Amino acid sequence: MSALPEKVSKSWENKKGPIILTTVNKEGISNSIYATCVSKYDEETLVVANNYFSKTLENIKAFSNGSILFITGKGDAYQVKGSIEYHTEGPVFDDMKKWNPEKHPGHGATALKVENVYSGAKKLV
């Protein structure tokens, strides 16, 4: 497991709009969704609240890798790739319940563990 570079960590705080979460099923077919209920748990973990997942949840349960793509207000784009853990209890889940809007169900916390980070084609980690 790796950590977000300082520049990317700071950029996360200035992200603009929804992120894109991509998961892959056991046949290798990808599925991407927009997500707005997201947070940085720590420098090694980005979390997406499962409010209305369907195929995404199937993919997470079948295969545990994915990526998060986000853009900043300045137009800098970053892609974070890694393994995915799914939490329905425990510290990561409890943290998600604190920031996920009450109007959404928050069925689970999808935690992407940082392994690789890119800015365009340039690998940062």
User: Which pLDDT does position 64 carry in this prediction?
Assistant: 82
Indicate whether 125 belongs to any domain: no
User: Which pLDDT does position 46 carry in this prediction?
Assistant: 98
Is the confidence at residue 1, as pLDDT, over 80?
no
Q: How far apart are CA 41 and CA 93, in angstroms?
A: 10
User: How large a percentage of the chain has pLDDT more than 70?
Assistant: 100
Indicate whether 116 belongs to any domain: yes
Indicate whether 81 belongs to any domain: yes
Answer for the pair 82, 65: CB distance below 8 angstroms, yes or no.
yes
Question: In the numeric block, which tokens belong to residue 114?
Answer: 């940082």
Indicate whether 1 belongs to any domain: no
| Other Cβ atoms within 10 Å of 32 Cβ, number | 13
Is the confidence at residue 81, as pLDDT, over 80?
yes
What is the tally of structural domains in the chain? Answer: 1
CATH number, domain with residue 75: 2.30.110.10
Q: Which domain holds residue 100?
A: 6-120
pTM, to two decimals = 0.96
Q: How far apart are CA 77 and CA 27, in angstroms?
A: 28
